[in-house]
Amino acid sequence: MFKVRYRYSGNKKGQREFCNKILKADKVYRVEDINLASQSKVNPGFGPNGADNYDIFKYKGGVNCKHFWQREIYLKSDNKKISVNQARKMILALEPSERNEARWKQNPKEVAQVAEASNNFWKLK
C-alpha cells in the first residue's frame, strides 16, 4: 500500500564531506540502500575507533552529526507523497485483519534524531 523512503535532513550546511554530498544529492533512499551503504566505505574513518563502515541509518555522518533521516511515505498506486498521519488514517480505515500488512516497521529512535548532549548514543563504542 505504501512505499517508505528516507531523506537526509537537518542543517543545510554539513561539516563533513559525506553530509554535504548527501544533502546536495537531495534524494530519497530505501532503508535497504542505506543499510548497504553502511557496509561500504562511504564515510571512511567516522565509525567506532576510526572504522570505515558503521550503521549510517542510526549514526548518519558520525559523532556530533546534526542531520537525521526524515521518513517520507508514498502511495504505491500513484507514487503520491502523503504525510505520516494520512498514512496512519488510511491504515485505520482498513479492515482489522488487513492493518498489520499495511503497517511499516518502527525505526530505532536514533534514526530521526540529531546528535545532542541529551542523547549520548552517538558516542559509538
Partners of 68 in the β-ladder: 9
C-alpha span between 103 and 2 (Å, rounded)? 9
* 118 has pLDDT over 70: no
Round the average pLDDT of the chain to a whole number and report it: 88
What kind and span of H or E run contains 99? helix 96-102
Cell of 57: 541509518
- Per-residue pLDDT tens over the stretch 19-56: 999 999 999 999 999 999 999 999 898 887 788 988 99
Partners of 28 in the β-ladder: 7
- Per-residue pLDDT tens over the stretch 49-102: 788 988 999 888 887 788 999 999 999 989 899 998 999 999 999 999 999 888
C-alpha span between 119 and 34 (Å, rounded)? 22
C-alpha span between 14 and 61 (Å, rounded)? 9
DSSP calls for 30-79: -HHHHHHHHTTTSSTT-SGGG-S---HHHHTTSTT--EEEEEEEEETTT-
Please report, as a single letter, which amino acid is at residue 75.
L
pTM confidence score: 0.84
Sheet of strand 28-29, all strands in order from the earlier edge strand to the far edge: 28-29, 2-10, 67-75, 81-82
